[in-house]
Amino acid sequence: GNDDSLQAENPQSGAAVTVQNEISSANTTQTTQPTTTAPAVSGSAEIYGLVLTVSRINGSTVTVDYENAQNSFSLGWVQTANVTAETTTGTYYSYLNDSIKIRQGDSGSFRINFDDLSGDIVKITIENVYLLSDRGLPSDPDGETVEITVN
């Protein structure tokens, strides 16, 4: 029958656990990664000490990471943060449903969903990114635009 021990995870380590292939009688070897793995991408842009990095593209969902923000920010305020994806086949538009508040020192990530994205993404543009003052209000009412080139 199936050996459930192949599902074992090691909570002590963040590293992947290598499980010896004990079902050699089935004559299967796993030398390639599963096709469900999202392709690794990289691309970063910095604005006022906030580094935004496109870390994953999975289908029509783009994941953007940020780490140790040097100031406080809001992605979107009264206006939503509009997002544009330029791909090898065209330009696609999306937006963040809710404003994303990033406080000084924060690390985290957020996802952007596009409808029917096709082609390889070459650039992500996020509009209405606001640097926040000490009172938590935008220091520039017009906001900024961040362009992230993806490779």
Q: Which helix (H) or strand (E) holds 121?
A: strand 121-131
Cα of 10 vs its chain's centroid, Å: 25
Reported pTM: 0.72
Determine the Cα angle at 45 with ends 124 and 71, to 5°: 120
User: Residue 57 is inside which H or E element, if any?
Assistant: strand 50-58
pLDDT tens digits, the chain, 151 residues: what are they? 554 444 444 444 444 544 443 443 444 444 444 444 455 567 999 999 999 999 988 889 999 999 999 999 999 999 999 999 999 999 999 999 899 999 999 999 999 999 888 999 999 999 999 999 999 999 998 999 999 999 8
